[in-house]
Amino acid sequence: MNMGTHKKNYKMRKNISSLLILIISTLLMITCTDSYMGIEQVKTSSVKPEKITIKEVVPKSGALEIHFTLPKGNPDISQVVASYINKQGEKMEFKVSRYSSFILVEGFIGTSERTVELACIDNSGNQSETTVVKAAPLISPVELALQTMKIEPAFGGIKVEWENPQGNPFVIHVLTADTLQKGIVSLEEDLKQVIYSRDSTNTFAYIRPYAAIKQDFGFYVSDKWKNKTDTLIGSFTPFKEELIDFNLVEPVTYFNPTYYGGSRDYDTYAINPATGIQNDGNCHGSNFGPHKMFNGVITANDYYVYKFVRNLTDPDKSKQELEQNAYATFDLHMEVRLSRVKIYPRPSSSYTYNRSSVKRFRIWGTNDANTEKWAKFPETWTLIGEYVGKEPVSRDNLTAEEIEYFNYNQEYTISEDNVNPEAQTTATFRYMRLQLMESYNPVISYYTINEFEMFGDIQQYY
């Protein structure tokens, strides 16, 4: 290539580059009339949108459900806002998007007519003129809870019941007597006894522990909207209740408990041929025997008893069948009327509402007047109660509250939680036979319990 041709090509490339720069600059100048740095500017307006139209107002418990229609032909409306002034003089505000057809305005107390202002807001922040709604809500959840509240003496304290049909969240505050100075007594809130309600079925609670003397209690209800009811006051005498001393509880051997690290055949080991009574269970070893249910330890891996297996020696495994009932028998060394029991399972997460943790059980009782207690069962014993453990909403998605309850607060009130109409829940007894009937996973071949804690009114010691 000669020098003239090289210069000619260079000049051509330079001209093309200049043309491209000119074209790009022209395009940028055009687009910059509506943009900045290549980002589209939001166009704003100062024109207020028209008012919304109210279609219907539906009274709710402590709330108003307001149905509305947006102004037609205005696609720029972004949200609807409703507000009112509560009884504390504070402005309460609620918002929904343009895609909603109603707005729920909550937090009312009382059933008198209330005034709510509604407006719509567009993308430019312009707010329409207000539309005023006047309507009366239904009785609020906190007022209903107080109106329906029942308080009665219970073992070791008092029982509180209320209604919460919609499962609204609120708090029940407990007040107890506090002596300010000699001769002057007032009710002060006990912050350790706060009751939280947020469902429609679990609407009772026990307040413990309190001495078995007549005393004053007070209750009021509050919610997240800062509403607060009047205070309900009453005098009650809790029933006497004591924690049963686990050191006094002793396993007995009259029903032939055994210790072997594995399942045993039902026909060979389960039934006492002399009495026809099912023997106590076969435990995994002496370190896992019935006495481990009563040692005050709630975080170990203690009591471990196998279910007997029918046809265990049959070579056809399909014919083998677990006998779900397993027993353990104790001398409490006291005459007692039980008020409640607590079960502490193995603490591992795999046992929470699962595996060998006990789901259904019975408590049988008798005393020294029953001279045939070791030769006849159950006909000479008294069924104190039968109890069934709770199920979580979903075993695969346990909540923190469900886990906490199962591991540390799994309590059964002897009378109220009994599911067997033939039980005599108020009977007193010295000897107890615990019948385990079902585990959370019934195909597991054993039961486990860490601690079986008992409370009641002790009549006398032996």
CATH number reported for the structural domain that contains residue 103 in this entry: 2.60.40.10
Q: Which of 206, 239, 272 is the last residue of a domain?
A: 239
Question: Are 311 and 449 contained in the same domain?
Answer: yes
Structure tokens at 333: 């060394």
Same-domain check for residues 104 and 231: no
Asked if the structure places residue 18 within a domain, the reply is: no
In a domain, 9, yes or no: no
SS3 456: strand
**Which amino acid belongs to residue 242?**
E
Same-domain check for residues 111 and 151? no
Cα R_g (the chain), whole angstroms: 36
Does the residue 216 lie in any domain?
A: yes
Whether residue 386 sits in one domain with residue 261: yes
DSSP string, 193-226: G-EEE-SSS--EEEE----SS-EEEEEEEE-TT-
pLDDT of residue 180: 52
Q: Which residues of the chain have pLDDT under 70?
A: 1-43, 179-185
Determine, yes or no, domain membership for 329: yes
Instruction: Indicate whether 275 and 192 sit together in one domain.
Output: no
Judge if 451 and 339 occupy the same domain.
Answer: yes
Check whether residue 304 and residue 397 sit in a common domain.
yes
Structural contact between residues 151 and 158, judged by C-beta atoms closer than 8 angstroms: yes
Do 379 and 279 belong to one domain? Answer: yes
**SS3 category, 365:** strand
Q: Edge-to-edge strand order for the sheet containing 77-85?
A: 91-97, 77-85, 114-122, 131-135
Is 251 a member of any domain?
yes
| φ/ψ (deg, to 5) at 292 | -75, -10
Rounded-to-integer distance, Cα 136 and Cα 94, Å: 18
Give the domain-ending residue among 204, 239, 274. Answer: 239
Residues 280 and 385 in one domain: yes
Output the pLDDT for position 46.
Answer: 83
| Domain identity same for 296 and 406 | yes
What the block records as the tokens of 253 is 């051997």
The CA-based dihedral angle spanning residues 258, 262, 267, 268, taken in that order and rounded to the nearest 10 degrees: -60
List the structure tokens of 111. Answer: 């059933």
For residue 4, is it within any domain? no
CATH number at residue 425: 2.60.120.260
Q: How far apart are CA 291 and CA 449, in angstroms?
A: 11
What is the per-residue pLDDT for 179? 53
What local confidence, expressed as pLDDT, does residue 18 receive? 59
Residue 194's domain is classified under what CATH number?
A: 2.60.40
pLDDT of residue 399: 93
Domain presence at residue 233: yes
Whether 12 is covered by a domain: the verdict is: no
The number of distinct structural domains making up the chain is 3
The domain boundary, picked from 71, 106, 135, lies at: 135
Identify whether residues 182 and 330 lie together within a single domain.
no
287 & 228 share domain = no
* The pLDDT value given to residue 22: 56
Q: What is the dihedral of CA 361, 348, 301, 338, to 10 degrees?
A: -30
What confidence score (pLDDT) does residue 186 get? 87
CA 95 to chain centre: 30
Q: What is the extent of the structural domain holding 121?
A: 53-135
Amino acid in the structure at residue 417: D
